[in-house]
Amino acid sequence: MQITEITVRTFRYTSYVGRDSEGHGHPAAPNEALTSLLTIGTDTGIEGYAFGGIAPGVLETLVKPVLVGQDPFYREWIWQRLKERQRLNMGSLNDKVLALVDVALWDLAGRAVGQPVYKLLGAYRDKVPAYASTMCGDDLEGGLDSPEAYARFAVQCSERGYPAFKLHTWQPPIPGAPDVKRDIAACAAVREALGPDVPLMLDPYHYYSREEALYLGRELEKLGYAWMEEPMDEHSMSSYVWLAQQLDLPICGPETVEGKMYARAEWIRYEAADIVRGGIGDLGGITPLVKVAHLAESFGMRMEVHGGGAANLHVLCAMGIPGQFYERGLLHPFVDYETPQPWLSEIDDPMDDEGYVHVSQRPGLGWDIQFDYIEENLVSSH
């Protein structure tokens, strides 16, 4: 089997989410949005897919020369070659591009052998408990505009079946953000609403000072929170070493800092985090996320997978180390999460009433793609 083509189809759909000037998602009036489908084709007719786009120039000059003519099962070789090409092309060949290619290759492999990806990776479980992961705070009446609003939403999520809850609090450009004390007020309101035993987590503003992050962490310790993510710029690893040394509250990271498994190794080595963090988009695909899972296991550490989606879920269900939760969201009182996007027959992460997300048993990553919808709403193809 050989790779013969790589194509990207961009199509329109109606979105009910918009982004503010800082890039954070919030509920919005219906608006036209674009997304893309990456397809890797072979001489046997078997294809693999990933949702996301690659610029035409990057696809033609950096990706296709590596892939076309290769055996698609040589995923590690392909990933390493693309990683090497990043050195002189970091502005265009970023980790999200590597992730799209790698995810599509894993999907192709599963479809080729008739097995779901988590079984190819070495299955450990077929369902995993989810935590409700909120959108960032806002100023929408009835939305997430106050500590009391977070508490009400936390109760709704608990009634839906979620066994745990994570707050993303207010970020710029929301008026008054960032505000450590307001963050703590929201965290306290959620704790009071859900009681002492529900695992709670916080992902706050990402550029607090050391003193603000320490104050935040100490208050979360009093509230019995399970962990905190990225309260400071992650490029300063020494700041996280300093913070972790002073807190009993587990620090989960790194999340967005560049460096793939190498950065995670440094954070483990210097004790900058207590829980390892990694996701498909942060690291460059399923292949490096599995490397990070093995790295965490080697040090006896837990790893929490960053973000949702089919690829992250399949890795999580293949991990033989404690990765306690699947991150389901981003959730908001005004957003319908349970209805699938029109180009899919069902959502990636169906959750039962007990809060377990079940991984698909279909070949590959399990997507049942509605190609007719994509063709009817096609904007471009390259």
Domain positions in the chain: 3-114+369-381, 119-358
Task: Give pLDDT, residue 8.
Answer: 98
Task: Give pLDDT, residue 323.
Answer: 75
Name the pLDDT band for 19 (thresholds 50, 70, 90). Answer: very high
Helix (H, G, I), strand (E, B) or coil at 356: strand
The two tokens of residue 208 are 């607090």
Task: Give pLDDT, residue 217.
Answer: 98
Name the pLDDT band for 322 (thresholds 50, 70, 90). Answer: confident
Asked if the model's pLDDT at residue 175 lies above 90, the reply is yes
Which residues of the chain form beta strands (DSSP E)?
Answer: 3-19, 25-42, 47-51, 127-134, 164-168, 200-203, 227-229, 251-253, 275-278, 303-305, 326-331, 356-358, 378-381
Name the pLDDT band for 297 (thresholds 50, 70, 90). Answer: very high
Task: Give pLDDT, residue 310.
Answer: 98
Do 3-114+369-381 and 119-358 come out as alike in CATH topology? no
pLDDT digits (tens, 9 = 90+) for 223-282: 999 999 999 999 999 999 999 999 999 999 999 999 999 999 999 999 999 999 999 999
Asked if the model's pLDDT at residue 4 lies above 80, the reply is yes
| pLDDT > 90 fraction of the chain, expressed in percent and rounded | 98
The C-alpha torsion from 103 through 104 and 107 to 112, rounded to 10°, is -140
pLDDT digits (tens, 9 = 90+) for 71-120: 999 999 999 999 999 999 989 999 999 999 999 999 999 999 999 999 99
The C-alpha torsion from 71 through 75 and 76 to 77, rounded to 10°, is 30
pLDDT digits (tens, 9 = 90+) for 132-171: 999 999 999 999 999 999 999 999 999 999 999 999 999 9
**In the predicted model, what is the mean pLDDT of the chain?**
97
Asked if the model's pLDDT at residue 324 lies above 90, the reply is no
Distance CA 293, CA 372 (A): 37
Which residues lie across from 327 on neighbouring strands?
A: 131
Superfamily of domain 3-114+369-381: Enolase-like, N-terminal domain (3.30.390.10)
Q: Please name the fold of domain 119-358.
A: TIM Barrel (3.20.20)
Distance CA 352, CA 355 (A): 6
pTM for the whole structure: 0.97
pLDDT digits (tens, 9 = 90+) for 184-237: 999 999 999 999 999 999 999 999 999 999 999 999 999 999 999 999 999 999
Which residues lie across from 26 on neighbouring strands?
A: 18
